[in-house]
Amino acid sequence: MSGTNETMAESRSALNRRDFLTTAALVGAALPLGSMAWAATSQQAKETAMKTRKLGTLEISEIGAGAMSISANYGPPADVTQGIKTLLTAHDNGVTFFDTAEVYGPYTSEELVGEALAPIRHQVKIATKFGFAIDGTIGLNSRPEHVKQVAEASLKRLKTDRIDLFYQHRVDPNVPIEDVAGAVKDLIQEGKVLHFGLSEPSAKTIRRAHTVQAVTAVQTEYSMMERSPETNGVLAACEELGIGFVPWGPVGMGYLTGKMDGSTRLDPKTDLRTTFERFTPENLAANLPIVEFLMQYAERKGATPSQIALAWLLAQKPFIVPIPGTRNVDHLKENLGALRVDLTLADLAEITAALSNITIHGGRMNEMQMALVDAST
């Protein structure tokens, strides 16, 4: 695929709005967080600068920035100037890890990230993804030759000579994972890619890929209300193999911000969550107990629900780096306020006990979208 405007225009026209919303639902990334004020206080929160964590051998900030929502998927794209300001503000506040993908837009998210980060390219790490056909369908394509073509096009859009972390966006059942890992290994040997990642893989697929090319990071939905990585072997495999874990949807696709309830109505024309079971009016109401708990707990800690949700994720494993996404500088600062929330061992035990008594209603994505999540055993 070329990076020319003509080609991009043709590709965009091939995807009607509804098809692309469905595609975006498949690709997984953090949704914008709520608009609650950044409420952490000095008495109830620890003052701390951004620390670093490691995804495998890749050292990055302990919270990253997801760029999907800036360019598409949740209403019209943000103004380019606003998008650049948000990304640069993230960096000014210590964020060094930025997540995008060719399918976001498609292409426009990579272009925005490339333009915003070009002046500070050597100070940041950029992750992007391959694996969708982007041909008017929502099909997968991880054939080795396609992977290498995507890498070349992404390098141009990102205005860079290397991709720090290159994820397979969804496991392609038609291409052995060993072949995919081999293609990325070739790109690493050429210096075009530095690290290999997988998005929504099973533990079995992680282990198979890792034998060919070391997997640096795994990206999967993980939050207080979506805890499947704890029980499906994925987190355990990452810990065993020294692989980092990057949760998308770290605040429950926006639900854990405390800004939604049973009366919330999302726009089916612009909001992909309308196709998700958890965002039906019935389940928005049925899942309120977890929001009510978060709001009460956040008040005790002088924080917001979003900050508690992110701080909880950070406390689960030292190799976890969430990537909340937003186009709004105030929301960005709220997210980063999670670093000032001190969750003690007693806090974590209390939260675990509370969550164990809360039932989450509705699947995380619809049946068609879940079919693209690797479930091999």
* Enzyme catalytic residues: 104
CB 66 within 8 A of CB 109: no
CB 192 within 8 A of CB 151: yes
Give CA–CA dist 55/119, Å, rounded. Answer: 24
Give CA–CA dist 209/198, Å, rounded. Answer: 9
CB 134 within 8 A of CB 103: yes
Q: Where are the beta strands (DSSP E) in the chain?
A: 52-55, 58-61, 65-66, 97-99, 125-130, 165-168, 196-199, 215-221, 244-248
HSE value, Cβ hemisphere, 13 Å, CA-based, for 310: 31
Q: How many CB atoms lie within 10 A of CB 10?
A: 11
Q: Which residue has the tokens 């038609």?
A: 174
